[in-house]
Amino acid sequence: MARGAIILNKERFVQILSEIDTLNNIDSFKNKIIALKQIIVYPKNDREGVLNIDGNGDTISLRKDVLLSELDQILKSQTNNRVRYYHEC
């Protein structure tokens, strides 16, 4: 898994997480997590603006391997309650 930091557009990242949090269907929830993971793994495919860093914008720096590991943990969950548990951590 890739190490190093990834710099995210904080506002857009939080917005996407909030959108994901509103989903009640586990398949929809996981599909959004997969899409987010794809953006992190393949930054050139970012059509959501997660990695679009504005010079005046607020950013957040996370370890790429840790973020991907957390997303993988969510994807391995089998129930809505477990998915929500990992999402809230």
Round to whole Å and give the CA distance between 54 and 58.
Answer: 8
CA 20 to chain centroid, in Å, comes to 9
Half-sphere exposure of residue 25, counting CA atoms within 13 Å on the CB side? 4
**C-beta neighbour count of 55 within 10 angstroms:** 4
How does pLDDT run across 24-81, given as a tens digit for each residue? 888 888 899 999 999 999 999 899 999 877 666 788 889 999 999 999 988 887 655 5
pLDDT at position 1 is 47
Structure tokens at 46: 């970012």
Question: Residue ranges of the domains in the chain?
Answer: 5-88
* Beta carbons of 3 and 64 less than 8 angstroms apart: yes
